[in-house]
Amino acid sequence: MTDRNAELFSRAQAVIPGGVNSPVRAFRAVGGAPRFIARAAGAYLWDADGQRYIDYIGSWGPMILGHGHPEVLQAVQAAAREGFSFGAPTEREIELVEAILHWLPSLEMVRLVNSGTEAAMSTIRLARGVTGRPKIIKFEGCYHGHADALLVKAGSGLATFGHPTSAGVPPEVVQHTLVLEYNNIAQLEEAFAEHGAQIAALMIEPIAGNMNFVRASVPFMRRCRELCSQHGALLVFDEVMTGFRVALGGAQSLYAQHIPGFAPDMTVLGKVIGGGMPLAAFGGKRAVMEQLAPLGPVYQAGTLSGNPVATACGLATLRCIQQPGFFEALAARTRALVQGLKTEADRAGIPFSVDSEGGMFGFFLLPELPRNYTQVMASDAARFAHFFHGMLQRGVYFAPALYEAGFVSAAHSDADIEATLEAARAVFATL
């Protein structure tokens, strides 16, 4: 632990709950003081002590170009000079939405908001509003932000109506949230058989990045699509993390390769589309989206929504990642990282499994890739903490919890990957 970080952490804890403005930053899962970041450039972060880290968090997903990309920086500076916020529409909002629609053909209209939480919450309200039904399905281990109705976790393995995961959420608020096991087709069928006519929406992270990195299997996703269509429920893809991160067309484009004609009914976006600024979005078919105020009866609004500086940042980011070969190069570098980690772990005789898609990855101290939350949680947390701190000491910043995905940016070089693998070799030898 370095002195200035520890000093800032105690100062922060005196005035900010837990010393942080979002819980996972506090290093509770791994122990120790979080690093207070002073600045960032490209693939690197520098903490308050001037220590440099190779950054595999990327602000939890948005920084796909790395930090301070010159084109993005220029767009943000120019926009800031024109004004921070108007509370009135701008042309840039249209441009950003048009760019999103271009790459995600399942959407016809989009509304911009400030956070993934807001986007997911508004999507649920809209789904309930258009279907006139109360119930929603979510999956254990999937996170859709901290709106009350979505802060629910299932009991182990059984389909049950949720109990709130947070204090302050009355049971009545989540009584319509059905929590199922990820990748469990039998449970899904049972839920629709019993409640089908009452289900407004099924919301899913197609690649779940909030339980590290777990893919929904193709048969499972096919069944989700079929059952939603049969019962008139909306299939909602939460692509806050995967959108413009695993592919330009998001995770939905990957399922469409395996399931002919596949498309979700609605999509929730965030992170990359804002390039590091507070910006998120939700969208779907015109007939559904036109139920939103001011056209329809479903209310939703925001003082800073479609913010001109945030949209400039998002647009510049999307422009850069559309360059030919961008995703191929990003995916190759990400694969080199995880496969290199796997090789080092194998050499040290440590059970290890890895997966990645585009610039998003996961690794597990488990012999096989997990398929659901229970399997993810079977990981050895103490061993992970040891690995995490070993890497951090050697200047490599992975997510400080074993249930978080990791991210590679276009700024990560082959030398960064090599340095990471060298550090991993040293740390694996101590596990």
Which residues are known catalytic residues? 143, 238, 271
What is the nearest approach in angstroms of ligand PMP to the Cβ of residue 236?
Answer: 11
The residue sitting closest to ligand PMP, measured at its beta carbon, is 116
Q: Which is nearer to ligand PMP, 130 or 236 (CB)?
A: 236
What is the nearest approach in angstroms of ligand PMP to the Cβ of residue 209?
Answer: 6
Q: Which is nearer to ligand PMP, 270 or 390 (CB)?
A: 270
What is the nearest approach in angstroms of ligand PMP to the Cβ of residue 101?
Answer: 20
Q: Which is nearer to ligand PMP, 5 or 183 (CB)?
A: 183
Q: Which is nearer to ligand PMP, 5 or 212 (CB)?
A: 212
What is the nearest approach in angstroms of ligand PMP to the Cβ of residue 323?
Answer: 25
Give the other-Cβ count within 10 Å of 332's Cβ: 12
Copy the structure tokens of residue 419.
Answer: 């340095």
Q: Which is nearer to ligand PMP, 44 or 143 (CB)?
A: 143
Q: Are 8 and 36 in contact (CB under 8 A)?
A: yes
List interacting residues with ligand PMP (CB under 6 A).
60, 115-117, 120, 143-145, 205, 209-210, 238, 240-241, 270, 280
What is the nearest approach in angstroms of ligand PMP to the Cβ of residue 37?
Answer: 18
Q: Which is nearer to ligand PMP, 41 or 248 (CB)?
A: 248
Q: How far apart are CA 106 and CA 103, in angstroms?
A: 9
What is the nearest approach in angstroms of ligand PMP to the Cβ of residue 9?
Answer: 22
